[in-house]
Amino acid sequence: MSTDKLIEESGKYVMNTYGRYPVVFVRGRGMKLWDSEGKEYTDFLAGIAVDNLGHCHPKVVVAIQKQAQKLMHVSNYFHIEPQIKLAKLLCQNSFADRVFFCNSGAEANEGAIKLARKYARENHGEDRFEIITATNSFHGRTMATITATGQDKFHPHAFSPYLGGFKYVPFGDLKAVADAITENTCAVMMEPIQAEGGVNLPPDDYFRKLRDLLDERGLLLILDEVQTGMGRTGTLFAYENYGIKPDIVTLAKALGGGAAIGAVLATEKVAESFSPGDHASTFGGNPLACAAGIAAVEAVLEDGWLLSECRRMGEYLVKGLNALRRKYPFIKDVRGKGLLIGMELDFDGADVVKEALKEGFVINCTMQRVLRFVPPLILTEDDVDGLIAALDRIFEKRQP
């Protein structure tokens, strides 16, 4: 089918919930994507921080092929070998003692909210159910997770009534959390670095002090690492940067190396609150997704190479973006950690994204004015040099 015909039928048969670029990608390998016209692109979006290993990583591809031939789905009425192996791998490499598997980030956060509420009720009493989240956060698109998301644009009247029991505080403001805590509070849920909200980093000591505050009050810390997990910030999980241990962490995006999977990680003390019947998912932890997940986690951890590359290339990319910032006064800020990097402009970035596509680079813009770069962690200096040169050409045209 021709590209025009595909786009026409997409407009006719697919529900109209996304603003899409007129591009159909048909093949990917490493840092590269090819569209239906045969044009090649360098990918600095990675399917929104999903393809951390690059497109079609050979170990993930082989793991999926082998598992697909063997067993794809049986249900959680039975023990599942790849699920057990992936849970063990995640526990051995994190703060966690136990894992629940689901299929997406929103679902992982739903599970975390249920677990935190049950834990707080059982351990502290009937009135403990409220969860404090941050403004400009993003936690997903289900009813509970849009409510948890501290952005008005995700709360239109059309979807009301919203779930009760959420309260928002400015991200990075410790006093605001302290002031928001009441006898009803059960947990604080935050991203270690806000990604969709414009790549916002908290003050250096924020999470350490927040952890102390929550320990004093007997409250849980839920970290939404759906985007920051799996090596994105240069460590397997972003909380490692802060020297703290959370009570619950949610994962999805890059966990399956491109395959759909989500997970809730928790300490034994907290996980104990879930008993058979409390939470479930038909597809959660299925053999196929978990086989992909095992390959992906192993590939991220292999020799520590990818994590150190992520840190090194993140610095290199920030250096290149800062050189542009010195040249163009309309660039307000460059910030990030590892390969989760934002460039704030003083104008709407949508056109820059379109121009970049024409130049053969896939980038993204969030919160209207923040260009976001979340490339595969395998990128090279050449990829970065190419992007910086393309952005330079695009920005040049904007100069008065």
Ligand X SMILES: *Cc1c(COP(=O)(O)O)cnc(C)c1O
The set of catalytic residues is 138, 224, 253
In angstroms, give the least distance from the CB of 219 to ligand X.
Answer: 20
Among 281, 396, 257, 317, residue whose Cα is nearest residue 42: 317
Options 120, 134, 248, 252; binder of ligand X; rule CB under 6 A? 252
Residue 200 is a binding residue for ligand X (CB under 6 A)? no
Among 247, 307, 256, 309, residue whose Cα is nearest residue 285: 256
Residues 55-114 close enough to bind ligand X by CB under 6 A: 104-106, 109
Candidates 133-141, 274-282, 326-334, 375-383 — which segment interacts with ligand X by CB under 6 A? 133-141
Options 57, 117, 118, 139; binder of ligand X; rule CB under 6 A? 139
In angstroms, give the least distance from the CB of 113 to ligand X.
Answer: 12
Q: 239 in helix, strand or coil?
A: helix
Options 90, 112, 189, 226; binder of ligand X; rule CB under 6 A? 226
Site size toward ligand X, by CB under 6 A: 15
The beta strand positions in 163-239, using DSSP E, are: 166-169, 185-190, 220-224
Number of residue whose CB is nearest ligand X:
105
Residue 344 is a binding residue for ligand X (CB under 6 A)? no
Cα gap 327→106, rounded to integer Å: 40
Cα gap 108→165, rounded to integer Å: 18
Both tokens of 371, joined, read 């260009």
Options 51, 110, 224, 355; binder of ligand X; rule CB under 6 A? 224
Residue 171 is a binding residue for ligand X (CB under 6 A)? no
Both tokens of 228, joined, read 């920051």
Question: Which residue's entry shows tokens 């970035």?
Answer: 349
| 360 neighbors 35 (Cβ within 8 angstroms) | no
Candidates 63-71, 208-216, 221-229, 354-362 — which segment interacts with ligand X by CB under 6 A? 221-229
Residue 227 is a binding residue for ligand X (CB under 6 A)? yes
Torsion of CA 36, 37, 39, 42, to 10 degrees: -20
Q: Please give the span between the terminal C-alpha atoms of the chain, in angstroms, as a whole number.
A: 43
Nearer to ligand X, 253 or 369 (CB): 253
One-letter identity of residue 109? N
Cα gap 266→271, rounded to integer Å: 6
| 232 neighbors 193 (Cβ within 8 angstroms) | no
In angstroms, give the least distance from the CB of 281 to ligand X.
Answer: 13
In angstroms, give the least distance from the CB of 231 to ligand X.
Answer: 15
Residue 140 is a binding residue for ligand X (CB under 6 A)? yes
In angstroms, give the least distance from the CB of 292 to ligand X.
Answer: 15
Options 35, 191, 309, 383; binder of ligand X; rule CB under 6 A? 191
Nearer to ligand X, 191 or 383 (CB): 191
Q: 127 in helix, strand or coil?
A: coil
Interacting residues toward ligand X by CB under 6 A:
104-106, 109, 138-140, 191, 195-196, 224, 226-227, 252-253
